[in-house]
Amino acid sequence: MTDSPQRQRVLLLGCGKMGRAMLEGWLKGGILAAEDLLVIEPSADVRAQLAGQGIIAVASARDAAAARGKDWRADLAVIAVKPQIIAEALPPLPPLMADGGCVLSIAAGIRADTLAGYFGSGIHVVRAMPNTPAAIGRGMIVLFAGPSVPPSLRSQCEALMRVSGRVAWIGDENLMDAVTAVSGSGPAYVFLMIEALTEAAVDAGLPEDLAALLARTTVCGAGELAWRSDEDAATLRRNVTSPGGTTAAALEVLMAPDGLAALMKRAVAAAAARSRELAGGN
């Protein structure tokens, strides 16, 4: 690969919500320049938008040579498509990869050895699990690389992910299923919390617009407080809870044996199990 992250030739496969969020972060952060990118994206509307930014985007891998030249090769391919289409999306990519290049995949559940099988032994594989707050630079991205991936490639992959939020590494790929279930799927749990709190507020008699404002602002404010505080979540919870008060009454329900903790454990277990199923299907 090239010595400088700014001069990597990067192929982005898939420019949906997550792919687009990462792409915008790379450009705004100066990590990559438009002329170093090639995007493969089936949506004509998205390709037109990217063209307006000076980014070459094609509908399929077979169009890459005409767009970039027959000798163009990617140092890094970022795989940002749904895991269900990996089997059809990856086979055309190896001819577009430079020798010794790297594949960085955010496809949930698709293991590194499965990915490596599409590209051969000359290509290194790194897995990443981002989440949707990456779109505003507040994502949580967890990465895994096998022992054969050199430190330079790990650093380059981390640099690409760091523009989208916090980065952490795991050494055991099996943990990626739990990561997917917690931080990868986790934003949906928070959004559901906002929905549920809004509905409860309406049931308590508040107008719907005020209920939505209170629920959204409260959840977002509490999250920001947790982000900025050095105290753990349990301490922050206790700080809000006066003995015998209104919060304590609500927490008796939420912290019951069949309450929020038990429900969340079942939800995370279901998501992790689905991640393992996706791996088994490839």
Nearest-angstrom CA–CA distance, 152 and 167? 16
Nearest-angstrom CA–CA distance, 267 and 95? 41
Under CATH, domain 5-179 is a member of which superfamily? NAD(P)-binding Rossmann-like Domain (3.40.50.720)
Look at residue 155 and give its three-state secondary structure.
helix
Residues 6+ apart with CB under 8 A from 154: 126, 143, 145, 169
Torsion of CA 65, 66, 69, 70, to 10 degrees: 40
Q: How is residue 14 written in tokens?
A: 């898939």
Specify the DSSP element, H or E, that contains 170. strand 165-170
Nearest-angstrom CA–CA distance, 176 and 274? 12
Query: What is the pLDDT, as a whole number, of residue 28?
Result: 87
From the number of C-beta atoms within 10 Å of its C-beta (0-12, 13-18, 19+), residue 224 rates as exposed
Residues 6+ apart with CB under 8 A from 74: 9, 10, 11, 38, 96, 97, 98, 101
Under CATH, domain 186-278 is a member of which superfamily? ProC C-terminal domain-like (1.10.3730.10)
Nearest-angstrom CA–CA distance, 148 and 87? 24
- Domains in the chain: boundaries: 5-179, 186-278
Question: 């594989």: which residue's tokens?
Answer: 125
From the number of C-beta atoms within 10 Å of its C-beta (0-12, 13-18, 19+), residue 251 rates as middle
Query: What is the pLDDT, as a whole number, of residue 281?
Result: 56
Q: How is residue 207 written in tokens?
A: 């107008």
Q: Note down pLDDT in tens along the chain; length 282 residues.
A: 444 444 689 999 999 988 998 998 899 888 899 999 999 999 999 999 999 999 999 999 989 888 888 889 999 999 999 999 999 999 999 999 999 999 999 998 899 999 999 998 889 999 999 999 988 889 999 999 988 899 999 999 999 999 999 999 999 999 999 999 999 999 999 999 999 999 999 999 999 999 999 999 999 999 999 999 999 999 999 999 999 999 999 999 999 999 999 999 999 999 999 989 887 755
* CA 48 to the chain's CA centroid: 24
Residues 6+ apart with CB under 8 A from 44: 59
**Would you say 105 and 82 are in contact if contact means Cβ atoms under 8 Å apart?**
no
Nearest partner of 132 among 40, 54, 18, judged by Cα: 18
Long-range contacts of 32-37, Cβ-Cβ distance < 8 Å, separation of 24 or more:
32/5, 32/6, 32/8, 32/160, 33/6, 36/6, 36/7, 36/8, 36/9, 36/10, 37/10, 37/11, 37/12
Model-level pTM?
Answer: 0.88
